[in-house]
Each structure stands twice: as C-alpha cells, then as structure tokens.
Amino acid sequence: MQVQVAQNAGFCAGVRRAVKIAEETVAEGGKWCSLGPLVHNDAVINYFKEKGVDVADSLEQIEQGCCGIIIRSHGVSAELIDQAQKMGLLVKDATCPLVKRVHNIVALLRDEGYEIVIFGDADHPEVQGIIGWCGGKAAVVAGVDEVYDLQASKKIGLVSQTTKNENDFLEVARVLIAKTEELRFFNTICSASRKRLEVARDLCLHVDLMLVIGDKKSSNTAALARECLHTGVRTFQIQDVSEIENDWFDGVTKIGITAGASTPDWIIKEVLDRMLEYEEKNNQEKDQKMDQGESFMKMEAEMADFTSPFRGDIIKGTVIQVLDDEVMVDVGGKSEGIIPLRELSVKEVNSAKEIAKVGDEVEVLVLKWDDDGGILLSKKRVDYQRTLAEMEEVFKEGREIEGTVVNSIKGGLLVDIGVIAFLPASHVDDGYVRNLDEYVGKKLRFKIIELNRNKKRGSQVVLSRKEVISKEKTRLKEEFWQGVEIGQVRRGRVKRIVDYGAFIDLGGYEGLLHVSEISHERVEHPSDVLTEGEELDVYVLDIDREKERVSLSRKKLLKSPWEIVLGKYREGDIIEGKVVRIAPFGAFVEIEPGVDGLVHISQLADYRVEKPEDEVEIGQLIKAKIINIDAEKKRIGLSLKEAENEIASNEVEEYLSKQEQEEDR
C-alpha cells in the first residue's frame, strides 16, 4: 500500500502567522484571551489553553486581570477593536493579511455607494468580520440559488470568503450581473486555498482512497472533502488518527492524504505514522497468504494433472445452478466456480434469476480461490471491460452514445451506458442546471469526453451533453431562421426570466418577450405572471435577421381590456368599481383592470359639488351607472347620482311588491 501526502496540506501562511503571533504573545507573560477560537481546530485551541490563552466569544466574557486580546485569523470589525482598546485591553491582531485586504475592499466599496454582496457562509466568523467593515449592511449568499432572491440594485460590489471555491464564486458573479447596472467584483479567494484544492483534485486521480484531515468546524476542510468526493474517489474526513477505521483500507493499494488550512503538522504526522504501520502489517500478512495460496494451487495442479486457472484469468464456463444470491458455474476442473450476485451484472439486480439460467455459457474472471478449493468468479468485470473496449472505440471515433440517467449525486449524474458513467453537472446542459433530479430516468444522448481504463476509483468514463445539445441547437436554429415570419404564432417555453422580460425558447432560438408585451395590464415584474419552464403561445412581433433578434408578444394573443368591457357591459348597467384617481372635473373609476370610467363632477350628486374629493376618495368602492360608451374614443361615462336614484327606486318597488304579496295572503 502506497501513501502520498499532498503538497500544501496543513497550516496555510495566515494560520501559521496567527499561531506565531499567539506564541510570541504567550512568551510576553500575563493572561490573554483570543476573541473567538484562534483557528477552527480544537487541537490548536487546547494547545494554547495549556499555555494560558483562554477563548472568549465576546468582550463581555473577558475576565478582570486579562492583559489583552488576540484577534483570530478570521478577523473582526473595526468597531470591536476600538471598543477593546477603550476598555484598556492590549490588542494583538493576528488577522490573516488576505482577510485584511477584504476588509479594505468592502470599506472602499461602501464609501463609493455600492451595495455589498459577500459570497460565503453567513455564520462564519470571517464573514461576520467582513460585514463589520461595511457598516453592518451586506447581503450574504451561500450559492447561486440565493443570488436569484436578491433585490436588484444600481451598483453592487462582490467579494468572497477567502476559503470558498473559485468556480462557485465566478458562477455567483455571472448570475449577479443581471441584478445590477454596474458590478464590481474582487476575487478575494486565497490562492493557497485554490492551490490546495487543485493539488487534492490531482492526487485523487492517482489514488484509491483519500483522507482529509481537519476539524469538523473548518470551512476549508469541508470544501476539501467535497472537492475530493466530486472526483468520485472514496473520501473520509477525520479530525485525528483516532477516527481511522482499518476496514476502510481493504482492497486499497494507494492512499492520498491532505489537510485543511487549520490542521497542525503533528496531527498529519500521527495519521501518516498510522498508515505506515498499517502498510507494514498488511504487506507481511499478504506475502504470507500469497506464498501459502500459490504453493497449494501449484501442488493441486500437479496432482490433478491439469492446469488450474489463476487469479486474473478470463475463462469460459456453463451455468449449472441459479440461486437468488449466486450462480454456480462449471469451469471444467475439479471445482465449480461461484458468481456472487454483486459480481453478476454491471446493472443492479435483486435476484440472479432475473438474468441467468441453467445452461447459459458465460465468460468470467477468476477473482480468487477459497479455502475449500472453490473459485470466486466475476461476470460483471468481464462485461465491464468488454463494454469499456466498445466505449473506447466510440470515444476515439467521436460518436454519440445513448444512455439512461440512473441517479443524481454530488457534482453530477450517473448514467447507464452499459457501464456506469459520470456526467458532471457543468456538462448536463449548455447552461446552469438548478435541479439535477429532474433528469433521473431520462434516456439521452451523450459524447464521451474522458475514458481512463486504468482508473481505480471513480468513474472510468466521463460524459457530456453540451456538445450534443450545441449540435442539435445549431440545426434547429437554421430551421428556425428559415421558417420564422412576422405575424406567426409559435409555441415556446420560458427559458429564463429577467427584470425587463423573459427569454422564450422557440425550439432552436430564444426570442425576447418584453415586460410591456406580456399583458395589457401593467406588469411590475415578469415573474409575477410567468414561471420558468412554462409553455405558452407567443406572437412574432418583429424580426431583425442581421442582428438575429426576435421580439415577441403575448398580449397580442389576449383580449384587450376594452374588448372585455365592450362584450360584458351595456349603457344603463350599474357596475361596482374602485375610485383610482380624482381630478378637478370628476373621479375615475376602474371598471375592469386597464379600463377606467369617468364620473363627471356634475354626476356625483343631485346637488352642486364644489370638489370631487368632498364626495369620494381614492380606493373607495362605489356603484355607478354607465350613461354612455364611446367605443371609438375608448371612453365611458358614469353617474353616481343616477345609480343611487335607480337603486333607491328599485328598493322602493321591491318593498311595495313585498307588501302587496303579504296583503294578498
């Protein structure tokens, strides 16, 4: 078993600097406190506790007699430092210089009138400190999904927590552009963090298992573990050597080790020593077993006068028995071979009887001999290698292949193409995919972009849909421009919504449905009416073939408010409406959304009215009689006094009618 430790594992320069400042402070003597944990590692915190450095979560918790405070590497607000000094405390500032740079950037952005957005974890102390340097006014987003919920702003400044993933940060910046007229963003992610992730990713490609060492509270350690998992290699995050379990390493030949920025060297060394002890013991046991096994097999072969198949051989056999959990195969020797259910098929099956029957001829791989002389076989691995060979031809020739998405995992999708291949999230579509689960169960076409038959862990085949989609879109786009004409009605799907409208996928091309063309009524925001993924009919309003732009309208296909009113109301009708505007000459009443009628001041009451507001107020519901409709000029005249008189007259008639009916009884 080989063990390889990643470069850049352990303390980063900022943490090393903070630890050095703390050690120098301790050497000065006296009682000290770190304001919050110095770094996110309990072992380091306990180390300094033994040297007399307590941890206080706030200035109020600092006890009498304390010389001063040590500002941790994550930093704090300027106000807090000023408050500590006013309390007579000495301040040893161990803030990471890179975090200090973020403080300076947000302070400058705030002074220049930018709304500040921080990409990071809202509860992380580094982020809390950054917020303190921009007057406590900042929006914190943990990912792209939260950017969509932000309010649009004229000027936005974007920074990042120094330990975040750079690709995620750039995706946040890309989406944020649509929220503002001016975006200034600063890539404040620590280069050491980026390098640590890159080295860990590279190491994952050459090992069977990764150990990521770091405290459970460490953000950058968690990011490291996630990055390793995304490569497909088995990964375990541990705090120290006590969390290691020996059965993790069964069948493992190469182990990689990396560590978070707050993990001290001594913890890494303890883990490495444990691995070396395990490797030495494992090698001794393996050599002993192999010597005994090979000697036994050679002796049995000589006695039986036939050549036994050895581990790794591919042989043919005939199925002689099928059970739910295994298949027995005659391989032509003194012993039968057994194919366990897990080694029968590359696809997941509940019973061997689903795919095997007595008499089937099978090609199998010899895995090992058991103590009773039986042979453990695998059909799955032969099928897998054969399918891989076919996929290699497909890959070399650049052909497309069809497969079914079987599962959604972190970082992408698993696809059955005869073997289980990996489809990264960034290659699922030609744009950002918010919900990968929507693709599970779908049969799609792919291109193979990576095939490595020697890869021990993770998927040996990596797929992409981007190129397939791009090729299909090019074809559909050509068809679209050949057939599109002004005045056509086309079926489309809402692809994405922006402040000024919605982009509609017309099957090969996206046209713009401007917010003013969504409805006859005023639309505050397109998302109030439309939802992404919704299908709708649109009218082709205008075409600019030179610039490849298509303007669309939805309201052209809807009845106008005036059409609705003319079909619904007649002169003499009494309607109920809301007073929406008052003018010196009368009051405007909303009859239907988008259509107002005028109650002239002379029609407000039976007596002289000096000012309309003496009789009605905005927002008031009133009943009015339609006294004239001018369809050509789109005007409707209303009368409040005639409505009141008619209603009163009707009430009197109804009352007299009821009286007559009672008298007749």
Domains with residue ranges and CATH for the chain: 4-96 (3.40.50.11270), 98-189 (3.40.1010.20), 314-378 (2.40.50.140), 384-462 (2.40.50.140), 484-557 (2.40.50.140), 569-651 (2.40.50.140)
Predicted confidence band of residue 305 (pLDDT cuts 50, 70, 90):
very low
User: Model confidence over 351-372: pLDDT tens digits?
Assistant: 888 888 888 888 888 887 654 5
Predicted confidence band of residue 283 (pLDDT cuts 50, 70, 90):
low
> Is 335's pLDDT higher than 60?
no
User: Model confidence over 388-399: pLDDT tens digits?
Assistant: 888 888 888 888
Mean pLDDT computed over 161-179: 89
**First-residue to last-residue Cα distance in the chain:** 108
| Residue 138 vs residue 72, higher pLDDT | 138
User: Model confidence over 226-256: pLDDT tens digits?
Assistant: 889 998 899 999 988 889 888 888 888 888 8
Predicted confidence band of residue 503 (pLDDT cuts 50, 70, 90):
very high
> Is 555's pLDDT higher than 90?
no
pLDDT confidence of residue 304: 41
**Token digits of residue 298:** 């050679």
Reported for 80-87, long-range contacts at CB under 8 A and 24+ positions apart, including other chains, are 80/35, 80/132, 83/59, 84/35, 84/59, 87/59, 87/62
Q: Which residues are catalytic?
A: 126
> Is 10's pLDDT higher than 70?
yes
Q: Residues near 344 by Cβ (< 8 Å), separated by ≥ 6? A: 327, 352, 355, 356, 379, 380
**Token digits of residue 498:** 């922006």
Q: Closest Cα partner for 114 from 150, 157, 175, 177?
A: 157
SS3 217: coil
Radius of gyration of the chain (CA): 37
pLDDT confidence of residue 297: 47
Q: Model's pTM, two decimal places?
A: 0.39
E strand or H helix that includes residue 446: strand 443-451
Report whether 190 contacts 12 (CB < 8 A). yes
Q: Residues near 337 by Cβ (< 8 Å), separated by ≥ 6? A: 317, 328, 329, 330, 331, 364, 366, 374, 375, 376, 377
**Token digits of residue 283:** 């090698």
Supply the DSSP symbol for 520. Answer: S
User: Model confidence over 102-147: pLDDT tens digits?
Assistant: 998 998 999 899 999 999 998 888 899 999 888 888 999 998 989 9
pLDDT confidence of residue 48: 84
pLDDT confidence of residue 249: 84
pLDDT confidence of residue 285: 56
> Is 512's pLDDT higher than 70?
yes
> Is 328's pLDDT higher than 90?
no
Give 542's strand partners: 551
> Is 160's pLDDT higher than 90?
yes
Mean pLDDT computed over 563-580: 88
pLDDT confidence of residue 211: 92
> Is 625's pLDDT higher than 80?
yes
Could you write out the three-class secondary structure of 302-352?
A: HHHCCCCCCCCCEEEEEEEEECCCEEEEECCCCCEEEEEHHHCCCCCCCCH
> Is 496's pLDDT higher than 50?
yes
Sheet holding 32-35, edge to edge: 53-56, 32-35, 68-71, 90-93
User: Model confidence over 460-484: pLDDT tens digits?
Assistant: 889 988 888 888 777 887 788 888 8
Mean pLDDT computed over 522-542: 89
Q: Residues near 60 by Cβ (< 8 Å), separated by ≥ 6? A: none
Mean pLDDT over each residue of the chain, to the nearest integer: 83
pLDDT confidence of residue 374: 66
CA-to-CA distance for 4 and 641, rounded, in angstroms?
Answer: 93
Q: Residues near 474 by Cβ (< 8 Å), separated by ≥ 6? A: none
Residue 463 dihedral angles phi and psi, to the nearest 5°: -110, 170
Beta-sheet strands, E only, within 523-573: 535-544, 549-553
pLDDT confidence of residue 154: 92
Predicted confidence band of residue 316 (pLDDT cuts 50, 70, 90):
confident
